[in-house]
Amino acid sequence: MTQKVKVAITVNGTLYEREVEPRLLLSDFIRHDLGLKGTHVGCEHGLCGACTVLIDGQTARSCTLFTVMVDGSDIKTVESLGTMEEMHPIQEAFSEVHALQCGFCTPGFLMTTVEFLEGNPNPTAKEAREAIDGNFCRCTGYENIVEAVQLAAKKMAAH
Amino acid sequence: MKPAPFDYYAPTSVEEALDKLTELGYSGKVLAGGQSLIPAMNFRMARPTALVDLNKVKELSYIKPTADGGLAIGTMTRDSVVEDDILVNERFPILVNTIKHIAHKQIRNRGTFGGAIAHADPAAQLPAAILLLDANLKVLSKSGERWVKATDFFIGPFMTVLEPEEMLAEVVLPPMAPRTGASYQQVSRQKGGYAQAAVISTVTLDGSDRVKEARVALFSVGESALLASKPNQVLAGQVPTAEAIEEVAAYVAKNECDPGTDIHGTEEYRRNLVHVLVRRALIDAVQQAKK
């Protein structure tokens, strides 16, 4: 019989109590069980960073965690940032300087930027570049992403 | 789902975890941060029968100063916590510099200090770092505790002296001697990627700038992390001249590593990297020691 484990996980402010298989990856829990498709799954072995979410305020790759490991945690996905009508300053910045092409990697970059700017509200281009070294953009649009991270910092300081 | 099914246990205390590991024997495996194990399970290269998850064992996560000026680090302490810790930055800046080279922030937020050591990846930073720093490892089982020197802990690729019913509980780093400099050197295709060759060194100088001790650890160039013996044999008691360092670097590259050939580089190329990196690491460590 397949083992199921009870978990209570808060995602974007909503508490979800579910029974899950121990092998269920957090990325699959978020996308399939909760239907939050904003978190993208690229490589599924911890290289590309597309599935990055915040767990208790810290970035992590949701494809290299079992859901059961984060029982009791507070998780934020890209859906927590803003809406089409009212974007988060980081989303506005990415939009304004064309920091996305196909957009597949963007949710991971956005969540990485959230954590980074909390610790460094006024980054240099070099620091911004280093901050995104764990995220791959296969369109190779890095120049604009670095620019967007710095623009986002300015927007957030003005808020 | 990508990983194969497994039985899952989430103990909340060390005692409970050790009971479970004893009960499971060879079919049990410890799950720490999962940043190496879960990718391997996603590929089904690893298919453990049962996992004992230590993420709820809060008593295994700590950094404590020891009376002699060293540190004791609990096995479940996240890499990013060690990296940002004030005491670690004060007492072991080389450890902070080393951890910054582990993958990326997202991985370091989840990966654990003890997990990387118990996993014993020959291309990983922390096994080499604890060889370099001459750490002592506290190993627990239901029948009690034993202490293992880092130099006795690794026995091959992904292999350690840990028995199935045992867990690595704590890593104790003895204090760095005064006038010790350290250096981290690696060559990798990209930042955060696996090194093709990497070297970490410490050099301790006496009052007249002669070497008291020189330590050189290597990784990604053998079946496990390695501690070279030639550097101290040649340099101890000597003024670390460029010629002496060159002799050591050439010897280590030829005789004290065992790199393989793969698509990222040949054995010959990697030996050349070791030669260059040992030289750089020792020159830099000597300079740091003089500061």
**Chain A positions in Cβ-Cβ contact with residue B55 (cut-off 8 Å):** 69
In this prediction, residue A1 carries a pLDDT of 66
Of A50, A80, A110, the last residue of a domain is A80
Query: What is the ipTM score, two decimals?
Result: 0.96
What is the pTM (predicted TM-score) of this model? 0.96
In this prediction, residue A132 carries a pLDDT of 97
**A3 has a chain B CB within 8 A of its CB:** yes
**A5 has a chain B CB within 8 A of its CB:** yes
| pLDDT tens for each residue of B108-150 | 999 999 999 999 999 999 999 999 999 999 999 999 999 999 9
In this prediction, residue B193 carries a pLDDT of 87
Sheet architecture: strand order including B63-65: B63-65, B71-74, B167-173, B136-141, B144-149
E-assigned strands of B122-210? 136-141, 144-149, 154-156, 159-160, 167-173, 180-188, 195-205
- Residue A75 and residue A116 in one domain: no
CA angle A144/A98/A126 to nearest 5° reads 15
Q: Which amino acid is at B203?
A: V
Quick check: A159 pLDDT over 80?
A: no
What's A47's domain CATH number? 3.10.20.30
Q: Name the CATH code of domain B58-173 (choices 3.40.309.10, 3.20.20.70, 3.40.50.10420, 3.30.465.10).
A: 3.30.465.10
In this prediction, residue B1 carries a pLDDT of 73
Q: Are B63 and B85 in contact (CB under 8 A)?
A: yes
Q: Read off the pLDDT of each residue in A60-79 and give the average, rounded to a whole number.
A: 98
| B191 band by pLDDT with thresholds 50, 70 and 90 | confident
Probe site for chain A from B58, B61, B101, B106 (most A CB atoms < 10 A): B106
- Residue A76 and residue A99 in one domain: no
Q: How far apart are CA A97 and CA A94, in angstroms?
A: 6
In this prediction, residue B265 carries a pLDDT of 92
Percent of chain B residues past pLDDT 90, beyond the cut: 97
Percent of chain A residues past pLDDT 90, beyond the cut: 98
Q: Read off the pLDDT of each residue in B168-188 and give the average, rounded to a whole number.
A: 98
What CATH number labels B7-53?
Answer: 3.30.43.10
Q: Which domain holds residue A95?
A: 89-158
Number of domains in chain A: 2
- Residue A69 and residue A97 in one domain: no
Q: How far apart are CA A28 and CA B38, in angstroms?
A: 14
Quick check: A151 pLDDT over 90?
A: yes
Q: Read off the pLDDT of each residue in A74-82 and give the average, rounded to a whole number.
A: 98
A-B interface: how many C-beta pairs under 8 angstroms? 93
Q: How far apart are CA B121 and CA B53, in angstroms?
A: 20
Domain boundary assignment for chain B:
7-53, 58-173, 182-290
Phi and psi at B265, nearest 5°, equal: 170, 155
B280 vs B264: which has the higher pLDDT: B280
Distances in Å between the Cα of B122 and the Cα atoms of B78, B162, B262 are 20, 16, 15
**A22 has a chain B CB within 8 A of its CB:** yes
Of A80, A101, A134, the last residue of a domain is A80
Judge: B39–A45 Cβ closer than 8 Å, yes or no: yes
What's A141's domain CATH number? 1.10.150.120
What CATH number labels B182-290?
Answer: 3.30.390.50
